[in-house]
Amino acid sequence: MKKRRKGLCILLAIMLLVSGCGKETKKEEATLINSAPLNIIDDNYRNYYEVFVYSFCDGDGDGIGDFKGLTSKLDYINDGDDKTDSDMGFNGIWLMPIMQSTTYHKYDVVDYYNIDKEYGTLDDFKAFMVECEKRNIKVILDLVMNHTSSQHEWFIEATEYIKSLKEGQEPSAKENKYFGYYNFTKEPQGTKYYQVGNTEWYYEAGFVSEMPDLNLGNQEVRKEFEEIVKYWMDLGVGGFRLDAAKEYYSDNTEKNNEVLAWLNHTVKAIDKDAYIVAEVWTPFNTYSQYYKSGIDSVFDFAFADANGKIVKTLNYTGSDNSGKALGQSFITLQEKLSELNPNYIDAPFFTNHDLARAAGYFSGDNQTEKTKMAGAINLMMNGSAFVYYGEELGMNGSGIDENKRAPMRWSKEETKEGMCRGPVAMERIEQEYDSLEEQQKDDNSIYNFYKQAVKLRNQNPEIARGLVTYIDEVTDEDICAITKEYNGSKIHILMNVSAEAKSVSLSKETYSYNELRGALKTGKDNVLLKGETVKLPPYSVAILK
């Protein structure tokens, strides 16, 4: 008996030795899949996931996404456990409009104090917020202040009032306050005005006739929104994404900034740590001016979309779009934005619900590698980075807006539990890449790439918060090389934005780094650090620390 046990022990020892050798190889791989500890700072530099509830996850089987469904998928977004590696690691969610509305997209609000019935009940929302709180996910709501639905009671009251006037009687906001809520006129200018019934009055509606523009100069309207933001913040909401901020006063930056400054003050008085990001869909020289309002962030449109900086860099067409130019653009951003608001937080994104999905931005050689690398550039930028749901799967969708808001591809089986049917007008979309189920099993998938990129942000707070300097000596057409310093800690980010493998040498003494802190590869070849030389395969990222 004893002898046999001794034999067993020797066998066990041999097995341990063998498995120990296995671990050595694994350890080497582990370095490459970014094994540094997480260092997540609880501030407003977050990794946001933009969710369209309608198309995300259906919790009750009617084909329309809802809060029950979204809550059931929170473990995918962030399970709240730093020890697991099965979640995406987003610690912020931007919810596209959730308030009661008449359309599938819900940008025309009928009731600012309720959840749209398609999405569930207020209790479902509260349950969702409890789960987000547990996971330290900050939830920001899409707040539509530029207009309401024409079915909103304010607008119905105002137009009924106008229609009730006797001939020769002039309306006044004193008599009916809702008359002052919108922009009514007897002298419409341009095409954005619509008649109120058969009266001589018209109302402004910049988007469509069913979305009348609010008069944000009216103090009563402002009081309404002061109550609305308070209501949602009391339910745990951590901030707002401001829809169509340039339209408040059509393209009048100064007046729009006054509105933003008022809202910022209102929101921060309730919670100083709240976060506000505005959509100002204009060229950089215009949207950057909105930082003067004092809000935290303005979406960085210059880097997004098929014609943005990221795509131009990867579809290199000349030195304006080189790795070097990309690095310089980060410096320019930093200089210009900090001048306008020293507390600015950039809001880089690559696509959103109004833009064609990124998988269609690239074609030909290296299409998949470029799709991944675009996500990497987005996620290596300073600020709060935003990722549109489904981009981590390389989903397709272009043309009409509905196609850009297609069901999250949890599975290739469209009838599988949780799958949404998508907007009614959505066309048939051919998907190039697998659904989540297959991509989860493939280490080289777009999904696993995005997960690693988000993880790097969660391991290295310098990425989102660091002061950027430019490493001139190794930067060239193909390599974007920058240093980021935060709280006395420096990292160096090297991005190979070309289709060629590159070797970059960086003096350890000058740049005081010890290790390859993290890396992203788009193909099968690994990023390697040997001595002072970094081997960067095509379209890859190395972080040195």
For residue 404, the SS3 value is helix
Taking alpha carbons only, the member of 154, 152, 275 closest to residue 223 is 154
Q: Footprint of Ca ion on residues 72-91 (CB under 5 A)?
A: none
Q: Which stretch binds Ca ion (CB under 5 A): 64-72, 341-349, 498-506, 509-517?
A: 64-72
- Record the tokens describing residue 493, joined without a space: 């980010």
Residue number, nearest CB to Ca ion? 66
Task: For residue 64, state whether it binds Ca ion (rule: CB under 5 A).
Answer: yes
Q: Which stretch binds Ca ion (CB under 5 A): 53-61, 72-80, 228-236, 495-503?
A: 53-61
Question: Site for Ca ion (CB under 5 A): which residue of 47, 51, 57, 58?
Answer: 58
Classify residue 237 by burial, with Cβ atoms within 10 Å: 0-12, 13-18, 19+.
buried
At its nearest, how many Å lie between Ca ion and the CB of residue 405?
Answer: 15
Nearer to Ca ion, 98 or 228 (CB): 98
Nearer to Ca ion, 370 or 405 (CB): 405
At its nearest, how many Å lie between Ca ion and the CB of residue 56?
Answer: 10
Q: Which stretch binds Ca ion (CB under 5 A): 51-59, 70-78, 216-224, 309-317?
A: 51-59
At its nearest, how many Å lie between Ca ion and the CB of residue 406?
Answer: 16
Bridge partners of 535, per DSSP, are: 503, 528
| CA-CA-CA-CA torsion sign (302, 303, 305, 307) | positive
Task: For residue 124, state whether it binds Ca ion (rule: CB under 5 A).
Answer: no
Q: Which stretch binds Ca ion (CB under 5 A): 55-63, 182-190, 259-267, 477-485?
A: 55-63
Question: Site for Ca ion (CB under 5 A): which residue of 28, 29, 42, 60?
Answer: 60
Binding mask 248-287 for Ca ion (x = CB under 5 A): ----------------------------------------
At its nearest, how many Å lie between Ca ion and the CB of residue 409?
Answer: 17
Task: For residue 53, state whether it binds Ca ion (rule: CB under 5 A).
Answer: no
Q: Three-state secondary structure along 105-143?
A: CCCCEEEEEEECHHHCCHHHHHHHHHHHHHCCCEEEEEE
Nearer to Ca ion, 114 or 315 (CB): 114
At its nearest, how many Å lie between Ca ion and the CB of residue 109?
Answer: 20
Q: β-pairing, 528-530 with 516-521?
A: unpaired
For residue 468, the SS3 value is strand
Q: β-pairing, 239-242 with 275-278?
A: parallel
Nearer to Ca ion, 29 or 417 (CB): 417
In whole angstroms, what is the distance from residue 385 CA to residue 380 CA? 9
At its nearest, how many Å lie between Ca ion and the CB of residue 53?
Answer: 9
At its nearest, how many Å lie between Ca ion and the CB of residue 58?
Answer: 4
- Record the tokens describing residue 217, joined without a space: 């100069």
| CA-CA-CA-CA torsion sign (473, 477, 479, 481) | positive
Of 142, 204, 279, 300, the catalytic one is 279
Nearer to Ca ion, 409 or 451 (CB): 409
Residue 520 CB contacts under 8 Å (≥ 6 apart), including other chains: 372, 376, 449, 452, 453, 456, 527, 540, 541
Nearer to Ca ion, 116 or 391 (CB): 116
Taking alpha carbons only, the member of 210, 268, 199, 216 closest to residue 239 is 268
At its nearest, how many Å lie between Ca ion and the CB of residue 184?
Answer: 38
State the amino acid at position 502 in one-letter form.
K
In whole angstroms, what is the distance from residue 251 CA to residue 167 CA? 36
Nearer to Ca ion, 58 or 478 (CB): 58
Active site residue 243: yes
Q: Which stretch binds Ca ion (CB under 5 A): 59-67, 147-155, 208-216, 475-483?
A: 59-67
Q: How many residues bind Ca ion (CB under 5 A)?
A: 5
Task: For residue 417, state whether it binds Ca ion (rule: CB under 5 A).
Answer: no
At its nearest, how many Å lie between Ca ion and the CB of residue 62?
Answer: 4
Q: Which stretch binds Ca ion (CB under 5 A): 15-23, 57-65, 240-248, 373-381?
A: 57-65
Nearer to Ca ion, 114 or 250 (CB): 114
Residue 150 CB contacts under 8 Å (≥ 6 apart), including other chains: 108, 205, 209, 210, 211, 212
State the amino acid at position 300 in one-letter form.
D
Taking alpha carbons only, the member of 352, 393, 299 closest to residue 76 is 393
Nearer to Ca ion, 345 or 420 (CB): 420
Contact yes or no for 244/144 (Cβ under 8 A): yes
For residue 308, the SS3 value is coil
Nearer to Ca ion, 61 or 190 (CB): 61
Per DSSP, 245 falls in state G
Q: Three-state secondary structure along 296-353?
A: CEEECHHHCCCCCHHHHHHCCCCHHHCHHHHHHHHHHHHHHHHHHCCCCCCECECCCC
Taking alpha carbons only, the member of 415, 366, 321, 417 closest to residue 60 is 417
Active site residue 116: no
Task: For residue 62, state whether it binds Ca ion (rule: CB under 5 A).
Answer: yes
Q: Which stretch binds Ca ion (CB under 5 A): 2-10, 60-68, 287-295, 331-339?
A: 60-68
Task: For residue 66, state whether it binds Ca ion (rule: CB under 5 A).
Answer: yes
In whole angstroms, what is the distance from residue 91 CA to residue 101 CA? 27
- Record the tokens describing residue 193, joined without a space: 């005005």
Largest CA distance in the chain: 113
At its nearest, how many Å lie between Ca ion and the CB of residue 116?
Answer: 11
At its nearest, how many Å lie between Ca ion and the CB of residue 60?
Answer: 4
Q: Which stretch binds Ca ion (CB under 5 A): 56-64, 75-83, 130-138, 421-429?
A: 56-64
Where b means 16+ CB within 10 Å and e means fewer, 407-420 reads bbbbbeeeeeebbb
Taking alpha carbons only, the member of 253, 262, 272, 269 closest to residue 294 is 262
Nearer to Ca ion, 53 or 221 (CB): 53
Of 66, 87, 204, 243, the catalytic one is 243
Q: Which residues are known to be catalytic?
A: 243, 279
Q: Which stretches of the chain bind Ca ion, using CB under 5 A?
A: 58, 60, 62, 64, 66
